[in-house]
Amino acid sequence: MKVGFFYVQNHGIPQTYFDNVLAAMQTYFGLPMEAKMKLYHKTVANFKGYSPPLDGNIDAANNDKGDFHEAFAIGWEEFEVKANDEKRADDGAMAGANVWPDDYPGFRDACLEYYHAAVNVGKTLFPLFALALELPETYFDDKTRNSAAVMRANHYPLKECHPNLDGETPGIGAHTDFECFTIMWQQPDIQTLQVMNSEKRWIDAPPIKDTLVINIGDQLALWTNDVFKSTVHRAMNKSGKERYSIPLFFGTDYHVNIAAIPSCVSADRPAKYSPVTAGDYVNKRLKEMYHTG
């Protein structure tokens, strides 16, 4: 595999789910900054909640201003909240409940409706990755029991509201994703996502009607010893329009130790990476992104 990006159709998510969550995002991100900052992610558990524009910088070596988007992050949660959800018992370094705005209950409903539908897409993809590696299709089942999936509702505001920014300030800078793969919904008709190809050139990954973008993340690259590649990408919003997107980062359960699959290691392809616990790896990358200790 040269580039770890592809599109999927027939994903099974109803159009009403996309419509509902987009409307909820537009309402939430339209709230006053004071209201949104009540759930600032650095004051709650493990990066859940709200992050304002320029709060993170994933490519600080090439960007001195920060990533120009705002976001709201959530993890697994049942529609009916459980006091002690067994699916979250082994989250370790990534433990922490979701937070929600008190004055906008519709936001939670729309986000969780889409979240659970996207998680089901992820559960469908794992057996396909296993078969592509010539492994039993159930290979990942015992490593992905509890849906270690984090969803970010992203809003890319107009740069005109921030006069210190220029046209080259990224919505989010060049990076790879942290988990196994990402399921990305892009707002139709607004080009932003770019992928670095095998020739080190940026190419557009435009929104295509009725599809989701899937990109390979670091955990799957670690597991497969780079048989599946975690590909560098970025968001550059030069459209002159506000833009919304929803990446769902789908990974292995946080307590799982990720080491190269034996069939992906050989004399010609020696192991490139040291084993790492999934939750520790994601937590480390998030701390680097938000410059927290």
pLDDT digits (tens, 9 = 90+) for 144-179: 887 678 999 999 998 777 777 877 889 999 999 989
- pLDDT confidence of residue 92: 60
| The pLDDT of residue 220 is above 80 | yes
| The pLDDT of residue 293 is above 70 | no
| The pLDDT of residue 215 is above 70 | yes
Residues 6+ apart with CB under 8 A from 280: 92, 93
Residues 6+ apart with CB under 8 A from 235: 69, 156, 170, 171, 172, 192, 193, 194, 245
**The residue to which tokens 């992820």 are assigned:** 122
- pLDDT confidence of residue 263: 92
Confidence of residue 65 (pLDDT cuts 50, 70, 90): confident
Asked whether 254 and 92 are in contact (CB, 8 A), the reply is yes
**Dihedral in degrees, nearest 10, Cα atoms 2, 230, 151, 247:** -30
CA-closest candidate to residue 8, choices 204, 271, 211: 211
Angstrom distance (rounded) from CA 139 to CA 137: 6
Confidence of residue 286 (pLDDT cuts 50, 70, 90): confident
- pLDDT confidence of residue 72: 97
Q: Per DSSP, which regions of the chain are E strands?
A: 5-8, 49-51, 70-74, 148-156, 172-175, 181-186, 193-196, 202-204, 212-216, 233-235, 243-251, 257-258, 276-277
What's the mean pLDDT in 80-103? Answer: 71
Asked whether 213 and 7 are in contact (CB, 8 A), the reply is yes
CB atoms inside a 10 Å sphere around CB 37: 14
The pair of structure tokens assigned to 281 is 């790896």
CATH number of the domain at 144, please. Answer: 2.60.120.330
Of the two residues 183 and 88, the one the predictor is more confident about is 183
What percentage of the chain reaches a pLDDT higher than 90?
Answer: 67
Phi and psi at residue 12, in whole multiples of 5°? Answer: 85, 0
What's the mean pLDDT in 8-31? Answer: 96
Angstrom distance (rounded) from CA 238 to CA 254: 36
What's the mean pLDDT in 60-82? Answer: 88
CB atoms inside a 10 Å sphere around CB 138: 10
What's the mean pLDDT in 239-257? Answer: 92
Angstrom distance (rounded) from CA 233 to CA 231: 6
Confidence of residue 284 (pLDDT cuts 50, 70, 90): confident
- pLDDT confidence of residue 117: 97
Asked whether 190 and 239 are in contact (CB, 8 A), the reply is yes
**The residue to which tokens 């304002």 are assigned:** 52
Angstrom distance (rounded) from CA 68 to CA 5: 23
| The pLDDT of residue 23 is above 90 | yes
Confidence of residue 84 (pLDDT cuts 50, 70, 90): low
Confidence of residue 87 (pLDDT cuts 50, 70, 90): low
- pLDDT confidence of residue 253: 86
Pairing of strands 193-196, 233-235: antiparallel
The pair of structure tokens assigned to 47 is 């990066």
Number of compact structural domains in the chain: 1
Query: Residue 236 sits in which domain range?
Result: 5-290
